[in-house]
A and B are shown apart, each in its own frame.
Chain A
Amino acid sequence: MDRFVFLTFDGLSRGAVYAAFALALVLIWRAARIVNFAQGAMAVATAYAGYSVASATGSYWLGFAVALAGGLLLGAAVERVVMRFVDHSSPLNGVVVALGLVLVIQAVLGMIYGNEFRPAETPFSRDAYDVGGIALLSDFDLFVFGAVFAVVGLLVLLFTRTAVGLRMRASAFAPDVSRLLGVRVSGMLTLGWALAAGVGSLAGMLVIPTELGLHPNAMDIVFVSSFTAAVVGGLDSAVGAVAGGLIVGLLLSYVSGYLGATVAPMAVLVLLLVVLLGRPGGLFAHGKERAA
């Protein structure tokens, strides 16, 4: 029972990060109908930048801010410089270009930092508090929950309460009509990419210290888990992405706790397969999803 409680809290903490990362995928999918396969590589790149600044200045929080700002900038740059010019007649094109970006980003990181794991320190302790003899949560877990909760809250506020959010939703839903009504649709698209990449960077900063550390490929498996989370929730649904993230986090935690850590990736693959074949619209889909 103790173990179950510990694994549950651990899973929720992991799941919060997957939720944030899945949310980033959903943001771009809703805005541009592209699954950003470069999201993981982009997050790693900003995490490297963040940790470089942190070790140069000695301030983790400065590095953290640099990583998030870098994410916003990188997202906007990727949209403006590359993704904008992709021919969308086939959905394959966007995917293939994103994969090209993955190769470029990982290669540049490898050239600058080398292809070995580098330690990534955390701003808070990762030692879990004992409550009645059961190890529950660490300060870092609380920080993860707080950060993800804040980001989700801010995004909800942005999309439901502000004019910019309304314009973004309008440009995604009916680009031509929005353009006629004076919305700068292309600007909204860039903003969507920037926000998504920013959220992705946050997720990267939260998940990299809990795994093996900084490495150009550090987010590959995180990407797969988060993609699964986004699919579990239905690629179109932000609420679904958060729920899907928590489901995947719990599953991973239980599987690696009870069956061994090496089985966890296979559990993700099986979950992805089952959901895609059983409910391709996601567990929380209501109404018909739009075509890719």
Chain B
Amino acid sequence: MTAVRERETTAAAIRREHRLRKHLALTLLAAAAIVALTYVLPPFRNYQLATVGAYLCVTAGLTVLVGLNGQLSLGHGALMATGAYTLALMQDADPNLPLSIAVAVLVTTAVGAVVGLAAARLRGPYLAGLTLAVAVVVPSITSTFDTTFNSDQGLSVAVDPPPLALGYDFPYERWQAWIAWTGALLTMLLLANLTRGRFGRNLKAVRDDEAAARLAGINVGRTQVIAFVVSAACAGLGGALFAVLAQSVSPGAFPLTLSLFLVMAIVIGGLGRLSGAVWGAVLLVALPASTHSVTDSIDVSPAVAQRLEGNLPLAIFGVVLIVVMLAAPGGIASLKERFRHEKSKARARRARRAGPDNRLQ
């Protein structure tokens, strides 16, 4: 009996090690690809790449929460703001970037724990409403405590230039991309390991059927709180990276629309898959950029162009979101599976159609 159990645990340990090794290899591969990419791309594209990395931290965490655990948070923009403001205040006191980022993540994690404790007791629209309130209300805190947060003007973030060891003419944007993607790849590695194992199964079990999960011995509340805390930590990291990239923070950078955009991105990218988070992060940067080039190319007055530029991405995101929710609730990342599914269905149809003929022969 014990021998069987021992063998099982060894098998699990080997599987875990396999998984870890596979994820590590993938991460290193991705890191190499990113580094290579930063040497090819022009500075502005590198900045965009860095932005994708910062978004990826947030969308990956949100995917775990919404997609794997079924808790909808509309407040992640506010959590990003928490991380960003913490980083700004830390950098102001002592410009040690890794430390500031770590503190930003910790503070956001603590805030996330508070919201998560409340969230674990709420379901569906109640949870959405509460997190929406968080997203709308938190930016106004900067006006309440304006001596600390400097109200609408926000704070500037001092970031050191790239280390001299990299060379005198090392482009700043490449350095930003490296910082952002270090955070993003670490996040992806941790989340991929976290969600594949037992914890990932618990998350999905709680999402699919709370009563069944409870019967199977899963602590539903704890699982939900942990999911929220993990995803808040990711949002804090993303927010901190944003502050580093923009070199400033202000409440205007974290409106309700940002929180909605994040949800849109992971829904469109595909819920429940970390690859969906990558798609979502790319979309968040690519869509506004491409509408910018569209409004540049059409010949309208500057005022109209400005209106279009600010609002076209919103409209496209909204329409795509509605269409995706109505037509393909799995998002982009599920299209491949759907395609495969359709193909096998078509094959089955063909086989059925061919069936009677065969019998006639």
Contact = CB atoms under 8 A, between A and B. Distances in A.
Interface stretch (B27-35, B42-50, B167-175, B259-267): B259-267
Given A85-B326, A86-B326, A92-B72, A100 B312 contact: no
Contacts of A107: 311-315, 318
A82 B307 contact: no
Contacts, number: 150
B12 to A, nearest CB: 32
Interface string B184-216: 000000000000000000000000000000000
Given A107-B311, A107-B315, A260-B144, A220 B256 contact: yes
A152 interface: no
Residue in B66, B125, B263, B267 with the greatest tally of chain A CB atoms within 10 Å: B125
A76 B87 CA distance: 47
Contacts of B264: 99-100, 103
A224 B132 contact: yes
B311 A110 contact: yes
Interface stretch (A13-21, A174-182, A273-281): A273-281
Interface string A89-101: 0111111110111
Nearest to B122: A276
Contacts of B325: 86-87, 93, 96-97, 100
Interface in A263-292: 263, 265-266, 268-269, 272-273, 276-277, 280, 292
B72 A100 contact: no
Contact of B129 (A35, A82, A104, A221): A35
B128 A37 contact: yes
B130 interface: yes
B127 to A, nearest CB: 9
B121 A277 contact: yes
A231 interface: yes
A276 B72 CA distance: 16
A227 interface: yes
Contacts of A237: none
Interface string B125-161: 1101110111011001101100000000000000000
Contacts of A231: 126, 129
Contact of B322 (A97, A106, A266, A277): A97
B72 A96 contact: yes
A115 interface: yes
B144 A228 contact: no
Nearest to B114: A273
B137 A265 contact: yes
B124 A114 contact: no
Interface residues of B, number: 47
Interface in B72-131: 72, 74, 118, 121-126, 128-130
Nearest to A228: B133
Contacts of A104: 314-315, 318-319, 322
A100 B321 contact: yes
A154 interface: no
Contacts of A223: 132
Given A92-B124, A262-B143, A292-B124, A221 B136 contact: yes
Given A265-B140, A292-B125, A101 B134 contact: no
Contact of A95 (B118, B128, B322): B128
B133 A268 contact: yes
A102 interface: yes
B84 to A, nearest CB: 19
Contacts of A95: 72, 124-125, 128
B129 A101 contact: no
Contacts of A102: 260, 318
Residue in B128, B129, B141, B255 with the greatest tally of chain A CB atoms within 10 Å: B129
A223 B129 CA distance: 10
Residue in B66, B140, B263, B317 with the greatest tally of chain A CB atoms within 10 Å: B140
Interface of A: 29, 34-35, 37, 82, 85-87, 90-97, 99-108, 110-111, 114-115, 217, 220-221, 223-224, 227-228, 231, 235, 260, 262-263, 265-266, 268-269, 272-273, 276-277, 280, 292
Interface of B: 66, 70, 72, 74, 118, 121-126, 128-130, 132-134, 136-137, 140-141, 143-144, 255-257, 260, 263-264, 267, 303, 307-308, 310-315, 317-319, 321-322, 325-326, 329
19 contacts: A34-B125, A35-B128, A82-B326, A92-B128, A99-B263, A100-B318, A103-B315, A104-B314, A114-B307, A217-B255, A224-B133, A224-B137, A227-B129, A262-B143, A266-B137, A276-B121, A276-B122, A292-B124, A292-B126
Given A110-B311, A228-B133, 4 more contacts: A103-B264, A262-B140, A277-B118, A292-B126
